[in-house]
A and B are shown apart, each in its own frame.
Chain A
Amino acid sequence: MSGTFVGMPAFPVAAREAVGDGTLRANLRHATHTIRAKRANAVAEVSDWAALREAGKQIKDHTLRRLDDYLVQLEEAVTAAGGVVHWAADADEANRIVTALVKETGESEVVKVKSMATQEIGLNEALEAEGIRAYETDLAELIVQLGKDRPSHILVPAIHRNRGEIRDIFAREMGEWGRAAPEGLTDTPAELAEAARLHLREKFLRAKVGISGANFMVAETGTLVVVESEGNGRMCLTLPETLISVVGIEKIVPTWRDLEVFLQTLPRSSTAERMNPYTSTWTGTSDGDGPRVFHLVLLDNGRTDTLADEVGRQALRCIRCSACLNVCPVYERAGGHAYGSVYPGPIGAILSPQLRGTASEIDASLPYASSLCGACYEVCPVAIDIPEVLVHLRERIAEGGEVTREGNKVVLRPAKGHAAERAAMRAARWAFARPGVLRAGQRLASRTRRLHPRSLPGPGRAWSATRDLPPVPAEPFRDWWQRTNGGKDGAK
């Protein structure tokens, strides 16, 4: 992944700062609670939700198990329909390909549809370095771009901003990028949306190059799908002469029919709508309608490394709906920036450390950015067991082990700072395997319970700083069982 977030402190440090920001917490609480209830209603409307979720999971799993075949099939179909397919092993290669394609057109500006993949590779910065200006056209991306900010949510990158802040950013910055905000702009959402409409329209009408991602790619037909709300996607996909789509290799579904599952589950999970306002599908190029040139850049950038992990590969089922962010108690309090990645929240906590590896402080801390409450798994429309992957990644970080990086197997050493945890686990393993030792230990703990401190000394202090130690009972369970004959004697 790109270096956009290089130098991020570990999650606990970043989160502590965010939690202290009252405005941020209020904004996040308001937004996530608004969408939570709506999503629940939208899901409750369809009686076969569980079956749709299971089918979505199976379609994605099946595709991943034969990803090589489907990639080749997709390439053939896109090529046959008039598109050109490029392959990018990492972010740098993808950026080089896109930059060269834009330069070939002779243009120095592009309009962009909101796309996680291009965020992930830091495409805007790479284009800027080559003198090409990329205009974000999704409302929330525009807010982030104008505010010189970072995205903090998958669906609504400016979720950390309230309407008053958005008004200020528009009034202050729009003039720098093009048409200025109307005089006397207020903070009503309708007026803010109108300001964005006016500001971007001139850019859409003159744009010669559009850049997008895609929500789905259909292997059998070579069709790409973009799901959106505002119409900015339609503008970028149909008005320019050249369209470049950068898409992660895991976005494939085998057949046209498979869309019947995801076009039901994605909008309801994402914006809590029966259907999002606009969905565009296109297959290569069409005579007289839309771009004359279509390029598809297939992006790996850590996805095949993720695929190599038997437990972690399920993260590649993700359809980027963001339902897991909206229900997560940790995300609600810490906000998206603390995750140090364009993929925040529970899915980010399992995706970023797999796509980027766990060499950096932030990536090594992400699997711990969770209380393992399981709400993310409950709402996931493709049933990714996020808690399972979190625990798996924690074990990997604490114990070390084999992982794949850039296609090569490497052995990770156990992380520093987990020595006390490992020692405690070793001791526990030893004691649990020896009933006599366990009994003696439990009795000792019970008899000395008045002397126990409220927090642990030494290396255990950090652990007990955020947790209460469990109270030790006056009598160990095993002693009680023996004394009362398993409770049959009626004695207390």
Chain B
Amino acid sequence: MSSRERILGRVRRALADVPRDDTPYERAVERAYLREHGGLGVEATVDLLAENLADYRAIVHRATEEELPAVIMRLLAEHGSPYVLVPPGLPPEWLSAGGPTRVDDRAESTPAELDGVASVVTGCAVAIAETGTIVLDGGPEQGRRRITLIPDHHICVVRVPDQVVASVPQALGRLDPARPLTWISGPSATSDIELDRVEGVHGPRTLEVVLVGGE
């Protein structure tokens, strides 16, 4: 007997006391919890996102579409990055104000090569206000998972209010599980020393989020 058959057989014998229940799954679980907390308006939801991002030590900026290139250029200059990594589908105007040398992520780029680049600029798939989370799904503006992991400085552009949802349940509804997802809530951190939170371990130690939109 294969271990597969052995385990499935053990499961079935273990459940011998459980009556067969064919309630469809949609009705099997009582979901009395909220779809979102607070029912805030659009503007207040964006404010909450900014507040919660900052609470976990992400640095939050706001800009209009016109201001965005200048803001990105300034953030890269302030970080002193000679190179900036870009995903294949990054809107060209985001880096149109000049600044560091662009490094395009290519399939053959090795982790060691990526380690030589200080900053990365990406978009995102969705941002969650209640938890201060941005989610990347590997779309053209975001690129492979590794490019937002190895550089020490990540600038992430969030289009507000379109890409902002209030809650985790709303975010899951917008995301495609077939894509590899990375949920990011602040710079990397650890609670492993005396259960006290310290920012900055293996992922980017500086996370800057630019909320772009409006006039």
Using a CB–CB cutoff of 8 Å, the interface residues on chain A facing chain B are 27, 30-32, 34-35, 46-48, 51-52, 54-55, 58-59, 62, 65, 67-68, 71-72, 81, 87-89, 93, 137-140, 143, 155-156, 158-159, 162-163, 166, 189-190, 192-194, 196-197, 200-201, 204-206, 218, 221, 223, 229-232, 234-235, 237-239, 249, 254-261, 263-264, 271, 273-283, 286, 288-290, 298, 300, 304-305, 307-308, 310, 313, 404, 407
- Shortest C-beta distance, B5 to chain A (Å), equals 9
Cβ of B122 < 8 Å from any Cβ of A? no
Binds A, one of B62-70, B75-83, B130-138: B130-138
Contact check, A289 vs B144: say whether CB atoms are below 8 A apart.
yes
Q: For the complex, give the distance between the alpha carbons of A47 and B112 in Å.
A: 46
| Complex interface: chain B residues within 8 A of A234 (CB) | 145, 149, 182, 202-203
Contact check, A249 vs B112: say whether CB atoms are below 8 A apart.
no
Q: Mark interface residues in B137-148 (1 if CB within 8 Å of A CB, else 0).
A: 010000011100
- Shortest C-beta distance, A11 to chain B (Å), equals 24
Contact of A277 among B28, B189, B192 (CB under 8 A): B189
| Complex interface: chain B residues within 8 A of A257 (CB) | 169, 172-173
Contact of B195 among A35, A89, A93 (CB under 8 A): A35
Q: For the complex, give the distance between the alpha carbons of A88 and B3 in Å.
A: 6
Complex A-B: 29 CB contacts under 8 Å: A34-B194, A35-B195, A52-B33, A62-B29, A71-B7, A71-B11, A87-B4, A138-B192, A139-B201, A156-B192, A156-B195, A162-B194, A190-B199, A193-B193, A193-B200, A221-B177, A230-B192, A232-B201, A234-B145, A235-B202, A238-B149, A257-B173, A263-B183, A277-B186, A281-B177, A282-B180, A289-B145, A290-B145, A404-B13
Contact of B182 among A47, A81, A275, A278 (CB under 8 A): A278
Contact check, B177 vs A189: say whether CB atoms are below 8 A apart.
no
Interface centre among B30, B33, B191, B194 (most CB of A within 10 A): B191
Using a CB–CB cutoff of 8 Å, the interface residues on chain B facing chain A are 2-4, 6-15, 17-18, 21, 25, 28-34, 37, 52, 56, 107, 111-112, 115, 128, 130-133, 138, 144-146, 149, 168-169, 172-173, 177-204
Contact check, B184 vs A277: say whether CB atoms are below 8 A apart.
yes
What residue in chain B is nearest A406 (Cβ atoms)? B10
- Shortest C-beta distance, B156 to chain A (Å), equals 13
Q: For the complex, give the distance between the alpha carbons of A300 and B14 in Å.
A: 13
Contact check, B179 vs A277: say whether CB atoms are below 8 A apart.
no
Q: For the complex, give the distance between the alpha carbons of A62 and B29 in Å.
A: 8
Contact check, A288 vs B144: say whether CB atoms are below 8 A apart.
yes
| Complex interface: chain B residues within 8 A of A166 (CB) | 193
What residue in chain B is nearest A301 (Cβ atoms)? B7
Q: For the complex, give the distance between the alpha carbons of A310 and B15 in Å.
A: 9
With contacts A193-B198, A264-B168 known, is A407 near B9, CB below 8 A?
Answer: yes
Contact of B177 among A163, A239, A283 (CB under 8 A): A283
Contact check, B192 vs A143: say whether CB atoms are below 8 A apart.
yes
Q: For the complex, give the distance between the alpha carbons of A35 and B25 in Å.
A: 36
Contact of B193 among A139, A404, A407 (CB under 8 A): A139
| Complex interface: chain B residues within 8 A of A258 (CB) | 29
With contacts A34-B194, A274-B130 known, is A238 near B145, CB below 8 A?
Answer: yes
Contact check, A260 vs B11: say whether CB atoms are below 8 A apart.
no
Contact check, A190 vs B200: say whether CB atoms are below 8 A apart.
yes
| Complex interface: chain B residues within 8 A of A193 (CB) | 190, 193, 198, 200-201
| Complex interface: chain A residues within 8 A of B182 (CB) | 234, 278-280
| Complex interface: chain A residues within 8 A of B189 (CB) | 229-230, 277
- Shortest C-beta distance, B202 to chain A (Å), equals 4
| Complex interface: chain B residues within 8 A of A289 (CB) | 138, 144-146, 180
Contact check, A139 vs B180: say whether CB atoms are below 8 A apart.
no
Kindly list the 6 A-B residue pairs having the minimum CB-CB distance in the complex, ordered from nearest. A231-B203, A231-B202, A308-B14, A304-B10, A230-B201, A275-B131
Interface centre among B21, B179, B184, B194 (most CB of A within 10 A): B194
Q: For the complex, give the distance between the alpha carbons of A143 and B7 in Å.
A: 35
Contact check, B31 vs A55: say whether CB atoms are below 8 A apart.
yes
Contact check, A300 vs B172: say whether CB atoms are below 8 A apart.
no
Contact check, B34 vs A47: say whether CB atoms are below 8 A apart.
yes
Contact of A48 among B33, B111, B180, B184 (CB under 8 A): B33
With contacts A163-B194, A271-B197, A407-B10 known, is A254 near B25, CB below 8 A?
Answer: yes
| Complex interface: chain A residues within 8 A of B188 (CB) | 229-231, 277-278
| Complex interface: chain A residues within 8 A of B112 (CB) | 205-206
Given contacts A47-B34, A279-B181, 6 further A-B contacts (CB under 8 A): A35-B191, A55-B29, A87-B2, A271-B191, A277-B56, A280-B183
Contact check, B201 vs A196: say whether CB atoms are below 8 A apart.
yes
What residue in chain B is nearest A309 (Cβ atoms)? B14
- Shortest C-beta distance, A264 to chain B (Å), equals 5
Contact check, A197 vs B179: say whether CB atoms are below 8 A apart.
no
Contact check, A407 vs B13: say whether CB atoms are below 8 A apart.
yes
Q: For the complex, give the distance between the alpha carbons of A239 and B9 in Å.
A: 37
Interface centre among B28, B29, B56 (most CB of A within 10 A): B29
What residue in chain A is nearest B31 (Cβ atoms)? A55
- Shortest C-beta distance, A354 to chain B (Å), equals 12
What residue in chain A is nearest B22 (Cβ atoms)? A66
Q: For the complex, give the distance between the alpha carbons of A339 and B203 in Å.
A: 34
